[in-house]
A and B are shown apart, each in its own frame.
Chain A
Amino acid sequence: MNTNNNVYTIVYTTVVVVIAAAILAIAAMALKPRQQANIKAETISQMLTAAGFSSKEDLAKLGNDQILAMYSDNIKTAFLIDAEGNKTDELETEVSSIELQDNLKVENKNIASGNPSLPVYVFEKDGAEINVIPCYGAGLWGPIWGYIAFDADCDQILGAYFDHESETPGLGAKIKDEAWFREQFKGKKVDFEHPDNPFAIVKGGAPAGDASKVDAITGATMTCNGLDAALDNWFRAYIPFLQKKAGAAMEDDCCGEDGCEDCDHDHDHGHDHNHQHNHQEG
């Protein structure tokens, strides 16, 4: 048979491609449940890392089931909020049926259209609440996302964890790999006063004492800009909720974004106030 015939060539390549596509489709369908379970456990372990329950390295040694159990044991409640920061729906936290709002890509679009359904995961550690919220945006090559943990009255950031799909290893990938980068988020605050730029990752170093700025990574300008935009975008969407939580603490607080050290006393006062408030509710 003449294998260089045009018709033969077209039919042959078509058949080969269709067979390959069919094999891949079957494999993808068969493996999907396992892959999704892995992704869910990965998402949860990122949250647990941000909230300071464990480190990513330690969690990587655990099986999916153990990670889900750890989540279920430590979570108090998880719910969705709307653009005004009002609770709209509860998320299941029972270990057998954990629900996550992890389609951040869709929510990222919904934030832009003003109709988001944003998740808040409230963990409990040593009697204190930890509120974990996600962020999502575009890096240099692909999506980047992360989880940020706030203290009980959403005043201070307790920890953060970032991940990416395909940032350059050794440069942009450092948002995930370099511990110092996420460590600097500890103790920082979201600048409620400036909702257009509530948080900044500053190239060339953040000014000392500025509570809502952190250092950028050398050589990863595009990734850092992307992460900065993602944080701004998502923090802005969460500000109504965060402010509600901060509530009393913010009202009699003299300092907004500047985070002047002198005001620490007032902050403590705010904490106390909030705690009393919580007790009344309880």
Chain B
Amino acid sequence: MNEDLKKTLLNPIFKGNPITVLVLGICSSLAVTVQLKGAFVMALSVIIVTGLSSFIVSLLRNSIPNRVRIIVQLVVVAMMVILVDQVLRAYAYSIDKQLSVYIGLIITNCIVMGRIEAFALGNKPIPSLLDGLANGAGYGMILIIVAFFRELLGSGTLFGLRVLPASYVPNNLVILPPMALIILGCIVWVQRSIQKDLQEK
């Protein structure tokens, strides 16, 4: 059992990463990775939403009428997303203003619904919670890696603090979404060369 839990927790971080392996949640990973701060908050929000909605749906899993299960899942996910948005609006207003469009879009983030359908509906609450949190973390990790390169090369800063000398001319291409896709591609490349079993024959 403990071994299972460990696998549930670690698998989504690397071997079964939602972005680089399952290729879910690409859209928001391109949009909110210009700065580390935004990526960090987005990662945290997704971790909370995926974890708690998996947990709640798992609690309800035996009572949910099969015909309307997607609707019920959506209600749970939407509720969590609105709660996160409201809390951010109260406690981190400037970040909420930047992210608010994308926070709303967590509802449509395939990772959340994907994990609920694939895992939470068939597993007990605690493993579901861990699975949700771990998938959120796997997503967040990629987000932060991409944001690290984009903020460093695009603005010469990290978390808003200048790290590259002022003489560094920021690369404007890195700020644009296409570059996020290229960085993401490089991450997938690195992962696939380490993890040979992911390579298609």
Contacts and interface: CB of A to CB of B under 8 A. Distances in A.
A3 B79 contact: no
B67 A20 contact: no
B82 A24 contact: yes
Interface in B31-74: 31, 60, 63-68, 71-72
Contacts of B31: 169
Interface in A26-47: 27-28, 31, 34-35, 38-39, 41-42
Given A9-B68, A20-B76, A20-B78, 19 more contacts: A3-B63, A4-B67, A5-B65, A12-B72, A13-B65, A13-B75, A16-B60, A16-B72, A16-B75, A20-B75, A20-B79, A24-B83, A27-B82, A31-B86, A31-B87, A35-B86, A35-B89, A42-B93, A169-B101
Interface in B86-123: 86-87, 89-91, 93-94, 97, 101
A39 B89 CA distance: 9
B89 A31 contact: yes
Nearest to B82: A24
A8 interface: yes
Contact of B65 (A12, A20, A35, A60): A12
A13 B79 contact: no
Chain B interface helix/strand/loop/mixed? helix
A3 B82 contact: no
Nearest to B95: A60
10 A-B pairs with least C-beta separation:
A38-B93, A34-B90, A31-B90, A9-B65, A20-B79, A3-B65, A35-B90, A60-B94, A35-B89, A31-B86
A205 B60 CA distance: 59
Given A20-B76, A31-B86, A12 B67 contact: no
Contacts of B64: 3, 12
A179 interface: no
Contacts of B101: 166, 169
A20 B72 CA distance: 10
Given A28-B86, A34-B91, A38-B93, A23 B65 contact: no
Contacts of B71: 13
Contacts of A17: 75
24 contacts: A3-B63, A4-B65, A8-B65, A12-B64, A12-B65, A12-B72, A13-B65, A13-B71, A16-B60, A16-B72, A24-B79, A24-B82, A24-B86, A27-B82, A27-B86, A35-B86, A35-B89, A35-B90, A38-B89, A38-B93, A39-B93, A41-B93, A42-B93, A169-B31
A4 B83 CA distance: 30
Interface residues of B, number: 25
B66 A3 contact: yes
A27 B71 CA distance: 22
A28 B82 CA distance: 9
A135 B31 CA distance: 30
Nearest to A32: B90
Contacts of A12: 63-65, 68, 72
Contacts of B79: 20, 23-24
A4 B89 CA distance: 39
Interface in A146-181: 166, 169
B79 to A, nearest CB: 4
Nearest to B66: A4
Nearest to A163: B97
A5 B65 CA distance: 8
Nearest to B104: A166
Contacts of A31: 86-87, 89-90
B72 A13 contact: yes
Nearest to A34: B90
Nearest to B78: A20
